[in-house]
A and B are shown apart, each in its own frame.
Chain A
Amino acid sequence: MFTLMHEGRAAYAFFERNWNLTKRYWAWEVVWLVYNTVNAMSVTYIGASAQIITGIKFDTSSLILYLLIGTTVWSYLSVTFEGVTDMVTFERWEGTIEHTFMAPISRFTHLVGSCWYAIAHGLLFTFLQLLIVSAFFHLDLSQANYLTAVFMLLIGSISFIGFGIGASVLPLLYTERGTQMSYIVRAILLLVSGVYYPIEVLPAWMQPLARISPATYVLDGLRAGLQHNKAIWSPEIWSYTWPLLITGVVSVPLGVYIFGMAERYAKRTGKLKRNG
């Protein structure tokens, strides 16, 4: 009971700390929101201009919604993923990482405590972005099932966190360029997950990668929910849910395990110290 209370307090410590940091760096949050919104609009306008580009008359509203879902999920994945990898990068930058690693808490609490905030932050951030971008387009949301959309994002978050924890090993071991190295994981997810196009257009050898990417299932589930009014309990949504559950159950413990190995390596080689 004592241990549980301790771990709970510690998990809240990371949430509170990250919230305090967000408040102090509010200007950065605004910049990041503008950047993501502009990016999302640029991509979505490709859908709006499809008639002009192809010279064929057709209803572009479904293409606009398709791309908008892609930009939204990509934004959510990026913000959440960055929230997880940033916990190491930022602590390295400030030199607090040794203090955090000295605290008498489990690494699971440390990592999950930080991820908890990343999810809340990512959801709020994505909602704001969606609200702004939607104002620029005529969206057909008559078939939207919002409950399914939120459900798919939350279920997908577990896997995103697992991948994020695994990637945060890079800034732990490579002080100067670790964060940039972690971008490669995101870039591969962007390429293979069908963010802006169906995965069927990918070369055959690339398609198995799409099947192990959690983003693929989140996107498919969201599109089924928002474009075709599929309920959470429908067989189609279930076909996207169970792979996400499996990926989440495997990726989070695996991520924590990999992080633990990296921590031990850093403690053997003296890599926790910032300047040397």
Chain B
Amino acid sequence: MSAHDLVLDTALPKHINTMQDAVVIDGVSKIFKKSRPLVRWSGKGQEVKEKKLEVRAVDNVSLVVKRREIVGILGANGSGKSTLIRILSTLLIPDSGHVSIFGYDVEKDERMVQRLINRVSVEASFFKKLSPMENLIYAARLYNMPGPQARIRIREILIRLGIQPERIDRPLENMSRGMQQKVAIARAFLTAPIVLLLDEPTTGLDPRSKIDVQNFIRELREEHDATILITTHDMDEAEALCDRVAIIDQGRIIALGTVEELKYAVQERMERTTPITMNEVFMHYTVAHLITDAAIKQYGSWEKAFEAFEADKEDE
């Protein structure tokens, strides 16, 4: 059974021009303000303190994703990946810039965009007392699927993702985190989105389940023409799945290209003759270039200098 057999046609708008870019992110920024103390002192240093109360989660990000492309977004924890995915999912309103999905603005044409997308978040969010079937039938109805047809599809797609048939009608709270994550993935696939936003979808899955999900993502693209944005910490996954990879650090995209292009660029910069791994590419772009010789000398080794650098970042 293929991904195409498992997803439903949900009467997508006929006037969608599938020839245009699937996702256009144009100069998007998002700043979060931390809550201020009730009593505020004015005086010297107030401006600096005000600045510290702001977190620039996404900083002037621009990215164009073509239809049927799988683009990976790699970044350390807190680098802005999930914020970007939330903006694309209509769950956050950007402070500046524009985002469009097949020409529809995520803010102005919110409902239309919602019909085109779905998202899997890192935490499998469900009504844990309800069964996978009860949770998914709720989702199916929200996306305008008739109940009887949806029930058949839900059973098929869950079994395809390795959920045992007898678990489908039992409460989700008795399932492992990996199993719950598979149900979350099934929920997103079920609605046949033409843009799928995957926020660390395979975190917590065992290697076999990871491969199942990765195969399913590929099938979804091949047979349903879906465009996919995926954030991950798993470099092997990025290498195996993505047509292009964007590396994001402190809210900014600092590298963008195919896996081979990025590897080649780093190899050139490091003047290495041996092959470069994606882990090394990631480290190079996110931290390696910030670890100076002086810091290595000061802390005794590259690893210790890296730890000190991370600790400084946390303090900030």
Contact = CB atoms under 8 A, between A and B. Distances in A.
A95 B123 contact: yes
B181 interface: no
Nearest to A20: B134
A267 B123 CA distance: 19
A16 B127 CA distance: 13
B2 interface: no
Contacts of B138: 13, 16-17
A234 B121 CA distance: 57
Contacts of B304: none
B33 interface: yes
A270 B130 contact: no
Size class of A's contact patch? 20 to 34
A267 B118 CA distance: 17
B119 interface: yes
A12 interface: yes
A142 interface: no
Interface in B92-139: 92-93, 111-112, 114-115, 117-119, 121, 123, 125-130, 134, 137-139
Interface in A12-34: 12-13, 16-17, 20-21, 24-25
A195 to B, nearest CB: 33
B90 interface: yes
A102 B115 contact: no
Interface string A246-276: 0000000000000000001001111011000
Contacts of A273: 86, 91
Interface of B: 11, 32-33, 83, 86, 89-93, 111-112, 114-115, 117-119, 121, 123, 125-130, 134, 137-139, 141-146, 171, 187
Interface of A: 2, 5-6, 9-10, 12-13, 16-17, 20-21, 24-25, 90, 94-96, 98-106, 264, 267-270, 272-273
Given A100-B142, A267-B92, 5 more contacts: A9-B144, A16-B138, A24-B130, A98-B91, A104-B112
